[in-house]
Structure 1
C-alpha cells in the first residue's frame, strides 16, 4: 500500500499569520496520525515562513516510533538565525527520510526538481552525510528526469516526482501526456533500483488516476489540498459546535 505522509506546513502558515500557538501543529499532526496516515512531512525554510526549527524538533518527538517522519528542504541553504540548516536539523531529529529539494526564498512553493546530470556531484557529500545519520534520502525531480543510475551510485534511495504539472494538466482536462511522462519516469527510476515517491498538488480528485498509473508507488506527500479539503469537510461541524456553545 502507498504510504500517505501528511504535510503540515499549512497549519504553521495559519498559526504564523496571527502569531501565538494556534492552530497547534502538534495537535494537527496527532489528528492525522490517529486518522491513519503513515507519515508526517515538514518543509522548513531558512526564512521560517511556516514550519520553524522548534516545530521540526517537536514533531520528531511526536512521530518517533509511531509513523515515518519526512523532512524536505534545500541542503545548500545555510544556517540563518535560529534555522541551523537542513543537514543539522536532520542530525538533531533523525527523521526517517530527508527529501532534498532545490528551492529558494523567492519561490512561493517548490516548482522544480534537481537536474541529476548537473547536480549529482554537488549532492554526493550531502547524501553521504544524511546516510551516515541514518536517514533515507530522496531527491525531488521533474517528470522526464534522467540520471537515476548516478543517483543510486551516490547513495540515494528514492526519488520524489514533482507532480505540479500533472495536477495542472488534470485540472485542464488534458492529462494523458503528463501522466505518461510521470509513469515513464517512475519505471526508469525503479529499473535503476530507486523507490518512487510523489508530491505537489495531489488531491482527492487526481490522486486515484495517478496511483493507478504508477505501480509500486511508495509514498505520496500531500499538504496543501488535504488541508484545504479539511476546511470544507470539517467546517459544518465546527460551526454547529460554536452555535451550540452560544445557545
Structure 2
C-alpha cells in the first residue's frame, strides 16, 4: 500500500492570516494521524509565510508516523533538519519568491552540491528524497547523488489528466520503471487529488508515498478531513 503523507502547509497559511493560533497546526497533525494518515509533511520557506521554523520543532514530538520536511537546503534549513532528525528530508529547489514548488532539480548540474548535502543527512540517519521532473536523465542523475528516493513532480500529469489526456502518465511510468531498476524509492506529489490519485497509483509501480496538501485541504472543506483521508487511503490500496 502506498503511504499517504498529509502536507499541512495550508493549515499554517490559514492560521497566519489572522495572526493567532487557530487552527493549531500541531493539533491538526495529531488529528490527521489519528484519522489514518501515515505521515505528516511540512515545507517551511525562508519567509515563513505558512509553516514556521518553530512549527517544525513543535511537531517533532507529535508526529509518531513519518515526519517529512521539504525545502531548499540553504544553511538555515540544513541546520534545522539536522537538529530535528525527521524520518525523511525532501530536497526541493525553490527560489525564495516561489509561490509553490514549480520545478524539480537539475540533478546533473547540481550533482556535487546534492552529493554533499545528502551525505550529511544520511550520516545523521535521515532518509533523503529529491524532487525531480519526469525525465529519465534526471532519474539517472538522482541515482548518482546517493539519494534514497526521488519524488516525482506531478503537476504536469495532474493538469493533463484533468483535460482527459491519460497519456500524460507515460513519462512517469517510464521514470518509475528506471527508478525501480536503479533501486531508488519512489514518492510523488503536487496537485494529486481524489480525482486522479487512483489512476496515478495504478500505473506507477513501486510507489511508496504520496504527499498531498492543497487538494486534500480543499476537498476537506466540503467532505470533512476524516472522510477525505479515508477516501485517499481507500484509493491508495
Normalising by structure 1, report the TM-score. Answer: 0.88
Write the deviation string for residues 44-95 of structure 1: whole angstroms up to 9, x where unpaired. 01010100011101111101xx2000000001x34xxxxxx22111111110
**1:1-247 counterparts in 2 under 5 A?**
1-63=1-63, 66-75=64-73, 77-78=74-75, 85-176=76-167, 178-234=168-224
Which of structures 1 and 2 has the bigger CA Rg?
1
Match of 2:207, SS? coil
Question: Once superposed, what is the RMSD of the aligned Cα atoms?
Answer: 1.3
Q: Give the C-alpha shift of residue 234 in structure 1.
A: 3.1
Q: Give the C-alpha shift of residue 175 in structure 1.
A: 2.9
1: distance between equivalents of 2:203 and 2:160? 15
- Aligned equivalent of 2:235: none
Write the deviation string for residues 109-149 of structure 1: whole angstroms up to 9, x where unpaired. 00110111111111111011111111000000001242444
Match of 1:62, SS? coil
Q: Give the C-alpha shift of residue 150 in structure 1.
A: 4.5
Whether the 8 Å contact between 1:115 and 1:145 is mirrored in structure 2 is: no
Q: Which runs of 5+ in 2 are unaligned?
A: 226-237
Larger RCO (CA under 8 A, 6+ residues apart): 2
Residue correspondences, number: 225
Normalising by structure 2, report the TM-score. Answer: 0.91
Q: Which runs of 5+ in 1 are unaligned?
A: 79-84, 236-247
Whether the 8 Å contact between 1:116 and 1:145 is mirrored in structure 2 is: no
Match of 1:166, SS? helix
After TM superposition, the structure 1 stretch with the greater mean CA deviation from structure 2, 6-15 or 22-31, is: 22-31
